[in-house]
Structure 1
Amino acid sequence: MPERSKLMLPDRVRLNVETSGPADAPVTVVLLHGWCLDRRTWHYQLSALEATDARVIVYDARGHGRSSATRRHAATLGQLGDDLAEVLRVYAPHGPIVLVGHSLGGMTIMEYADSHPDEFAARVAGLVFVSTTAEGATHTSYGLPTALTSILRAAETTGAGLLARLGVWRPHRAMLPALRPAVRWLLFGDGYRSADLDITMSAFGWASLRSIGGFRASVGAQQRLETLAALGDVPAAALVGDRDRLTPPPCAESIADALPGTELTVFAGAGHMLMMERPFEVSAAVLAVAARAAKRLPAKRRREPRIGYDQAA
């Protein structure tokens, strides 16, 4: 069973953290969820990692899930990068780390790399980017014709600013059944499991209006291709679905172009919730990068991880 704890950050925000696996594991895998989601979206990958010797850390970002609310001025990617740095210092102070980020989580990794380059270079031995981008809203079209994209983007940006000012209320929780078809269309591709959509809707319900709106400006403005290009030959994978309406294939392609040695995979028929839509393939990519990361250790410190897992239903 995972160990659950609360991490108090310097600004008094409490993060809900779950850890599992041995403290002396050959590698630590950190899973970072997407915007308006929470740690539960990684349930397939958590099951896969149980069959390995890896230490695993998963947590709800500030303002999401069971973590406490964020102040509006702190609803930024830069702050999320600093939060990740604090999580690593407390829960994984030693050994190589593999960072796995979905959407907002992938952007958080890039902020950590940009703001804490020395720590990143010393600790991070592998990266997996799942349905994310290093170019803000540059490629986001919402699956709509180009002529409509700019109109919707402007409306979304304005609406997000208003939501951010409404505080930590969650009035949308009462409207989740009505919102379900729209969320399903926006986030999933050709097929989905009802239970996975249930988790997604529940996570969305836990996100406050401040979190839904507050992070939008930072997400839309981020540009981190140069940061990725400076990371060197870190083992990495970039995964994306060809039906992703938020971070379409050009987002993953630009990450792979910027970061040398990145293995790019595009999944036909899959949308933005790739770790749920293609759970076995995403889990396999995480395990493969973790194995490569462990082998980068000096021989006297290396302990080979067990690779292989029971497929989750």
Structure 2
Amino acid sequence: MGDFWHETDDKMRLWCREEGPEEAAVTVVLTHGYAQGSNCWHAQRDFLAAAGLRVLVWDLRGHGRSEHPADASGCTIDRIADDLAELVREDCQGPVVLVGHSMGGMALMALAQRSPELVRERVAGVGFIATSATGEGLGYLGVRRAAHLVLGVAEPVFQVFARHQSAMLRLRRVGLPLEAPVMWASCCGRGTSREDVRLTGQMGADAGFETMAAFLPDMVRHRRLGALAAYRGVPSLVLNGSWDLVVPPEASDVIAEALPGCRRVAVPGAGHNVMMAAPGCVSEELLRLATPESVSGLCQDE
């Protein structure tokens, strides 16, 4: 238990943390999203471990404390899925419940395509948190055409920022008073503590503009609705915040339609980082997911 490093088959060192009793019947693996870090799950990690479950959180390649790939070829959703498959096979015992937020949820879909036998043999539950199966609508902000324009210019802008990373980080320190309301409005929403708003900004800074630029094109190309078929019959949760300005709530509806019998939860007023905006609600829902006898088997909004 505690912190450890996992070395992938392409020699990338990933930072991981495991908590909870070793004898737990199930391991809950929490995978964060784009420009975030494993600390976004701090409330759920502590809650689930205290409830007697084993919990594994990790920083994706290029994020948090994990190593950054030497070039953009290592920054794809497929590669994240392969990293996750390695973690499950090598660092988890017994059944697992896989939970992914945003790009992390996209990686769960890629995992089903690339390692279907792992899903069949090991996955006892799956949670899709504020994510998309199609990639469409990312950065929605209520206007789809504007979203495509924003995504089209974001990558080259991030590449320019990446070449001046140190200067941009100095500028960020000066602009911290302005960063908080932007983070709150774009990612967090009602209920998020000041500490978690600051954490959201810091996780993005830790990932850096180079990582953001490298992953963005693959996120926009993401089309994996058909991959959800591999999770049919597996206890499943589809959850989002009703005030998500990054991935529209309709994207979660599409996923729920592809998973008959899922549990569908929309958290009023919560933004994209719903696990930080509504930590108690999300923690309880993940406990429900990871405890098979408590899963209702009904798809419903709450």
Taking structure 2 as the reference length, the TM-score comes to: 0.89
1:7 pairs with 2:14: no
Opposite residue 155 of structure 1, the aligned amino acid is: V
SS in 2 for 1:208: helix
Greater relative CO, 1 or 2 (CA 8 Å, sep 6+): 1
**2:299 equivalent in structure 1:** none
**1:246 equivalent in structure 2:** 246
Which segments of 5 or more consecutive residues in structure 2 lack a partner in the other structure? 296-302
> What are the within-5 Å matches in structure 2 for residues 1-313 of structure 1?
2-71=1-70, 72-92=72-92, 94-136=93-135, 138-160=136-158, 166=163, 169=165, 171-174=167-170, 175-176=172-173, 177=176, 178-292=178-292
**1:303 equivalent in structure 2:** none
Q: After TM superposition, give the deviation of residue 130 of structure 1 in Å.
A: 1.0
Alpha-carbon distance in 2 for matches of 1:187, 1:218:
21
Q: After TM superposition, give the deviation of residue 191 of structure 1 in Å.
A: 4.2
Distance 1:26-1:179 versus aligned 2 partners, 3 A rule: same
SS in 2 for 1:50: helix
Q: After TM superposition, give the deviation of residue 232 of structure 1 in Å.
A: 2.1
CA contact (8 A) 1:162 1:213 kept: no
Distance 1:12-1:249 versus aligned 2 partners, 3 A rule: same
SS in 2 for 1:240: strand
Q: After TM superposition, give the deviation of residue 110 of structure 1 in Å.
A: 1.2
Distance 1:154-1:6 versus aligned 2 partners, 3 A rule: same
**1:118-138 alpha-carbon deviations (Å, 9 max, x no partner):** 1111100101111111111x1
Distance 1:116-1:146 versus aligned 2 partners, 3 A rule: closer
Opposite residue 8 of structure 2, the aligned amino acid is: L
Alpha-carbon distance in 1 for matches of 2:293, 2:11:
34
**1:310 equivalent in structure 2:** none
CA contact (8 A) 2:116 2:230 kept: no
Opposite residue 278 of structure 1, the aligned amino acid is: A
Q: After TM superposition, give the deviation of residue 36 of structure 1 in Å.
A: 0.8
Alpha-carbon distance in 2 for matches of 1:108, 1:230:
13
The percent of aligned pairs where both chains have the same amino acid is 33
SS in 1 for 2:291: helix
Q: After TM superposition, give the deviation of residue 12 of structure 1 in Å.
A: 1.8
Q: After TM superposition, give the deviation of residue 155 of structure 1 in Å.
A: 1.8
CA contact (8 A) 1:188 1:271 kept: yes
Opposite residue 282 of structure 1, the aligned amino acid is: V
Q: After TM superposition, give the deviation of residue 210 of structure 1 in Å.
A: 1.9
CA contact (8 A) 1:139 1:250 kept: no
Structure number with higher helix proportion: 2
Opposite residue 108 of structure 1, the aligned amino acid is: A
**2:298 equivalent in structure 1:** none
Alpha-carbon distance in 1 for matches of 2:224, 2:82:
16
SS in 2 for 1:244: coil
SS in 2 for 1:187: helix
Q: After TM superposition, give the deviation of residue 163 of structure 1 in Å.
A: 5.7
Opposite residue 63 of structure 2, the aligned amino acid is: H
Alpha-carbon distance in 2 for matches of 1:201, 1:293:
38
Distance 1:54-1:81 versus aligned 2 partners, 3 A rule: same
Alpha-carbon distance in 2 for matches of 1:16, 1:111:
21
Distance 1:98-1:170 versus aligned 2 partners, 3 A rule: farther
CA contact (8 A) 2:25 2:95 kept: yes
Equivalences, count: 290
Aligned CA RMSD, in angstroms, stands at 2.1
Q: After TM superposition, give the deviation of residue 38 of structure 1 in Å.
A: 0.7
Alpha-carbon distance in 2 for matches of 1:97, 1:190:
31
CA contact (8 A) 2:190 2:277 kept: no
SS in 1 for 2:231: coil
Which segments of 5 or more consecutive residues in structure 1 lack a partner in the other structure? 296-313
Taking structure 1 as the reference length, the TM-score comes to: 0.86
* Residues 98-107 or 172-181, more deviating: 172-181
* Residues 177-186 or 114-123, more deviating: 177-186
Distance 1:145-1:223 versus aligned 2 partners, 3 A rule: closer
